[in-house]
Structures are given as structure tokens and as C-alpha cells.
Structure 1
Amino acid sequence: MITLFSFHFTTAQLFIFFLVAVFVGMSKTGVHGTGMVAVPLLASVFGGQLSSGIMLPMLCLADVMGVWYYHRHASWEHLKKLFPWAVIGTILGTVVGGMIDDHIFRMIMAVIIVGSVVIMLWLERGHKEDIPDYKWFAGLTGTAGGFTSMVGNLAGSVMAVYFLSMRLPKNSFIGTTAWFFMVMNWFKIPFHVFAWHTISWHTFLLDLTMLPLIAIGAFLGVFIVSKIPERMYRWFIIGMTLVAAFMMLV
């Protein structure tokens, strides 16, 4: 066993934790689905709710990197519609998340991800105009995004549905997503500290040791995204989301 800040790991668990850190960095610089793959991986080491608290500071550190690189491409028109509803969803997620066990957590997240993939595929099959750019749709998506982000750090699939349906180009998609999650992830910290008690000094120090791997993942993400054509990027997001759903179910 290997001990880091009062946490005990097998060699395999520590490798998974290192891989999660790289995936988190990649997810914030455009390799969107890796963040959703990281969630079930980390849950396999720490369990559902605790893994949410351990991952959150890692996400916050990676968010800064993503915003630093893509901040010029954000669509604030869409963000202003989403933020108030995402706050409501976060509060709702705090209440509900404290009542569910790991099994229910995994089932809820899997259903949400699979549903998001179905909608993404439906949009790509020639129904792009069927999702309206209306306030009610932003409200529904923002609430769902805040809820899933709080419960399991898995709002990526929900927000991908919204931003893809708004037909944002690649860089604008990444920049807008980066700003959304940086604001919401930092907003979630007090709920994890004072309501769920899943972030402590020990978990923060543990996350801080992952910073070099998060940075490697972030630079790797920038390189990979630069090589993916615009249309192929949309299908890449869908494919990675589907992988995350499969991992959550098994």
C-alpha cells in the first residue's frame, strides 16, 4: 500500500488517480469526454460522493488553465442565460446528493449521460433546427447542468447537448464551456466543504500533488484539439460521452 496524506492506495489505484489527473487537464482544453471518463475511474477508487469532493479542486485548477488558453472565444450571450439556473441546479444537487448512495449515484449519472448521447445523435441526424434557442431551454439545461455538476461532476454531457444545439464552432464551444465550468466549480466549493464535508485539508493537499499531471493533460489537450477538424470534433465529443456512459454502467 502507498500512503498519501492519510489516503491509502494500491499501485493500481494510484495509477488510476494519476490517469484521472491527466484526463481532467485534457478535458479543460477541449478533449471534452475525458472528464466524463475520469469520473467513474475516480469513483472506482474513492466511491461516489467522496470522489466528487476529491475531483472538484482538480477541476478548479484545470479550469484556470482552460480559461487562460480559450478565454477569448467564450459566448457570454449563452452564459448569461445559463448561470442563474445552474445556481438553482447546484443547490438542488446539494440536497439530493446528500440522500443517495453510490449505487443510485452511478445509475442516475449513467441515465443522464445516455440520454445526452441520444439527444446528441438525434441532433446530428438532421434535427439541429428542432432545438430552439429559447430561454426555457437554457433554463432547463442550466438547472440540469448545475444538478449533475454538483452530484457527480458530470455536467459535461448535459452542457455539450446545449452548446452543440446552439451550433457553436469548435473554439467557441471550448471557450464557453471553460468559463461555465470555472464559475460553477468554484461556486460549488463551499457546498462540498460545509454541507457534504468531502473537501478537507488532506484532500486539497492530495489534489495539489496532481497539479503537474493536470498541466501535462492540459497541454496534451491543446495539441490533440488542434489536430481535429471542426466536424470531426462534434463526433469526437459524442463518442467520448458514450464511453463515459458505458464505464458508469459496468
Structure 2
Amino acid sequence: MVSLFSYDLTYLSLGTFMLTGLLIGMAKTGVHGMGMIAVPLLAASFGGKDSSGLMLPMLIMADIFGVSYYHRHAEWKHLLRLFPWAIVGVLLGTWIGNEIDDQVFRTIMGVIIFLSLGIMIWLEKVNKDKIPDYWWFAMILGVAAGFTTMVGNLAGSAMALYLLSMRLPKNEFIGTAAWFFMAINWFKVPFHIWSWHTISLNSILLDLTVLPMIAIGAYLGIKVIKKVSDQNFRWFIMIMTALAAVFMVF
């Protein structure tokens, strides 16, 4: 047993915590899907709601690495479309976060993601030039991203579906996602502190201990993504998004 900043951790919990930091670092520099693995890992050790508050500062630290490396590649027109709807989603998630049943939520989102993936794959095979550049498409996925990131730090799938549907190249995909999550994660902090009470000084100090693992993960993510072509990156993201949907359902 290890005591850190009012937390009594078993060696297994401490190891899981460090592994979570590594996975988050990789996710923020392009290896999407790693974050979906990190969410249930942390929840198993710290509980669902408490783990969401514990993970948020880790995500913000990792966002800094992602934005620092990919900041020049962001497509701001997509960010400006998504931000207002994502804010609505965060507020909605804050409001009903104490009432929603986790399993029902995960099942619904998993089904939606599978249906959206089916549409994306159909577009990929049948009409590669068709881009669903509609306001309602940004609205649906923007609200979904804001809602899911507030309730369970699970917005990666909604963002992946939107950015892949826009046919963004690899670096633009990562850069746009990095800026989106940097802004939204900072926006979520006050709600975690004063509404859900899931972030405290002790939780922030505990999060700081994992910063070296986040940095290592960010470095590994950059190295891995450099070796992946744009087309392979698209299929990699689709596969990881499908796996993320399976995680949410089961």
C-alpha cells in the first residue's frame, strides 16, 4: 500500500494509474483509441465519477503536448462549428450526470457510433468525394462530443467520426482534435470542482506525479504516427472507434 496526497493506493492501482498516463499521452499525439482503454482502467481502480475528475487534469497535461506539436495543423473552421454545440453538450452532461445510468448511456452511444461508422464506411466505398458538410451534422456530433466528454471522458469517438467524415489528412485530424480537447477540457474544470466535486488539490497533486508517463506516452505516440500513412490512419481510427463502441456497450 502506498499513501499519496490522501490517496491509499495498492501497488496494482498505482501501476494502473501510471499506465493510464502513458496511454493518455499516446492518445493525445495521434494514437486514438488508447484513451478509450484508459477510461475503464482508471474507473476500475477509482470508481466511475471520481475517475472522471481524476483523469481530467491528466488529459489537460497531455493536451499541452498534443497542441505543442500539432498546433499548426488545426482546421479552425471545423472547430468554430463544433465549439458552440460541444458547450451545449457539456452543460447537458453536467445537468444529468448524477442521474444517468452508465450502462444505458454506454449502450446508446455504442449503437450510435456503430451506425455512424456504417455510414462512414459506406461513404468510403461508394462515394469517396461526398463530405457531409451540414450544420446539423456538426450539431449532432458536437453535442455528442460535449456530452460524452463531460459524463465519461469518452468524446474521442464522436470527434473521430466528425473529423474522418470531413476527410481531414492525418496531421490536420490530430491538430484539430488537439485544439478541440484543449479548449473543452479547460471548460469542464469548473463543473468538476464546484458541481460534481471530483477535482481537489490532492487529486491535482496526485495527477502531477504521472506527468513523466504522459510525456513518454506523447513521445511514443508521435513516433508511431509518423510511420502510418494517411489512408492507413483512417482505417486505424475507424477500427479503434469500433473497439471503443464495444467497450462502451460491454
Structure 2 alignment gaps of length 5 or more: none
Alpha carbons of structure 1 residues 164 and 3: separation in structure 2 relative to 1, 3 Å: same
Q: Stretches of 4+ moved more than 6 A in 1?
A: none
Residues 152-200 of structure 1, C-alpha deviation per residue, up to 9 Å, x if partnerless? 1111100111100000000000000000000000000001001100111
Shift of 1:14: 1.9
Kept in 2: contact 1:37–1:243 (CA 8 A) = no
Distance across 2 between alignment mates of 1:214 and 1:142: 27
Does 1:29 find its partner at 2:57?
Answer: no
Per-residue displacement from partner, 1:70-124 (whole Å, max 9, x unpaired)? 0000000111111111111110010111213554454455445545544443443
Provide the secondary structure at the position in 2 that maps to 1:3. strand
Partner of 2:15: 15
Name 1:237's counterpart in structure 2.
237
Superposed displacement of residue 2, structure 1: 2.4
Please give the root-mean-square deviation of Cα atoms over the aligned residues, in Å. Answer: 1.9
Match of 1:187 in 2: 187
| One-letter identity of the residue aligned with 1:207 | D
> Whole-Å Cα distance in 1 between the matches of residues 225 and 125 of structure 2?
24
Task: Please give the alpha-carbon distance, in whole angstroms, between the structure 1 residues aligned to 2:54 and 2:72.
Answer: 29
Change in Cα spacing, 1:127 to 1:96, as seen in structure 2 (3 Å) is farther
TM-score by length of 2: 0.92
Q: Distance in 2 between matches of 1:161 and 1:216?
A: 27
Quote the Cα distance in structure 1 between the aligned partners of 2:27 and 2:195.
27
User: In the superposition, relative to structure 1, how do residues 91 and 232 fare at CA in structure 2: closer, same or farther (>3 Å)?
Assistant: same
Give the paired residue count: 250
2:211 aligned partner? 211
1:144-183 mapped onto 2 (5 Å cutoff): 144-183=144-183
Instruction: Tell me the amino acid that sits aligned with residue 83 of structure 1.
Output: F
Match of 2:94 in 1: 94
State the distance in 2 between where 1:219 and 1:62 align.
11
Q: Deviation at 1:245?
A: 3.1
Q: Give yes or no for the alignment of 1:141 onto 2:147.
A: no
Q: TM-score, normalised by structure 1?
A: 0.92
Alignment partners' CA distance in 2, 1:26 and 1:239:
17
Identity %: 60
Counterpart-to-counterpart distance in 1, 2:71 and 2:152:
25
- 3-state SS of paired residue (1:8): strand
CA deviation string 1:126-165 (max 9, x = no partner): 3555552011211111111111111111111001111000
Cα pair 1:157 1:241 within 8 Å, conserved: yes
Partners of 1:142 and 1:36 in 2: how far apart? 18
Decide whether the 8 Å contact of 1:48 with 1:105 is kept in 2: no
Change in CA separation of 1:116 and 1:7 when aligned onto 2, cut-off 3 Å: farther
**Shift in Å, 1:10:** 2.4
**Is the contact between residue 106 and residue 248 of structure 2 (CA under 8 Å) also seen in structure 1?**
yes
